[in-house]
Chains A and B, each alone.
Chain A
Amino acid sequence: AQSVTQPDIHITVSEGASLELRCNYSYGATPYLFWYVQSPGQGLQLLLKYFSGDTLVQGIKGFEAEFKRSQSSFNLRKPSVHWSDAAEYFCAVGRTTSGTYKYIFGTGTRLKVLA
């Protein structure tokens, strides 16, 4: 069955430090992969997506992610974290059935940023 694993429930980094959030997926075909961010009480905002092609994808707010098929991973990175990045981050894989798509989300990683 398709699944998404985010092994880190909480991560704390200092402002200005680099960040890497891990995501592993289980999917039989070439996956469509996404990273979303959610601020408290808010909906989900798309950071970036991977469909095909270049395995390093750039997103909004200075985020990037690298697709590694051999490791079934799609880790999110940012070279220098800002206090406003504190939020919950969700990795998701898109699954197709009869031409329609649904997303399977991981359980999320909550990011805390220290001043």
Chain B
Amino acid sequence: DAGVTQSPTHLIKTRGQQVTLRCSPKSGHDTVSWYQQALGQGPQFIFQYYEEEERQRGNFPDRFSGHQFPNYSSELNVNALLLGDSALYLCASSSFGRGAEKLFFGSGTQLSVL
């Protein structure tokens, strides 16, 4: 049973470019959340997808957008990259309606913006 998988593991971009990160949830899960973890900080909630819709959003600008596909996998898109977008991006999956069920995290995508 595969856990949460993210791709790519590492990515280097330059300012102003656009990036797409991908996530496949754990088998049996239908909800995907994205978190940004800057160096030396705790993860910060970006947004959550369920039934292909954004259900919650954290305090992130519109440059951050997402998508969920019918197979529950998800993408995180960041436009007009800034140096401050350099971080570890974590995807977490869960089952909707299970309450505060624990999240299963992937190993993350390390994004460096030069």
Q: Enumerate chain A interface residues (CB-CB to B < 8 A).
A: 4, 32, 34, 36, 41-46, 49, 51, 90, 92, 94, 96-108
Contact = CB atoms under 8 A, between A and B. Distances in A.
A100 B55 CA distance: 7
B15 to A, nearest CB: 24
Nearest to A92: B42
28 contacts: A36-B105, A42-B108, A43-B90, A43-B105, A43-B106, A43-B107, A43-B108, A44-B43, A44-B90, A44-B92, A44-B105, A46-B102, A46-B103, A51-B99, A92-B42, A96-B100, A97-B56, A98-B56, A100-B50, A100-B96, A101-B99, A101-B100, A102-B45, A102-B48, A102-B56, A103-B35, A103-B103, A107-B41
Interface of B: 4, 31, 33, 35, 40-45, 48, 50, 55-56, 58, 90, 92, 94, 96-97, 99-103, 105-108, 110
A26 B10 CA distance: 35
Contact of A100 (B43, B48, B90): B48
A106 B42 contact: yes
A51 B94 CA distance: 16
Interface SS, A side: strand
A72 B89 CA distance: 29
Contacts of B45: 102-104
A92 B44 CA distance: 11
Nearest to A49: B102
A100 to B, nearest CB: 5
A112 to B, nearest CB: 15
Given A100-B31, A102-B56, A34 B102 contact: yes
Contacts of A96: 100
A94 B102 CA distance: 9
B80 to A, nearest CB: 25
Contacts of B4: 43
A43 to B, nearest CB: 4
A108 B107 contact: no
Contact of B58 (A43, A51, A102): A102
A99 B42 contact: no
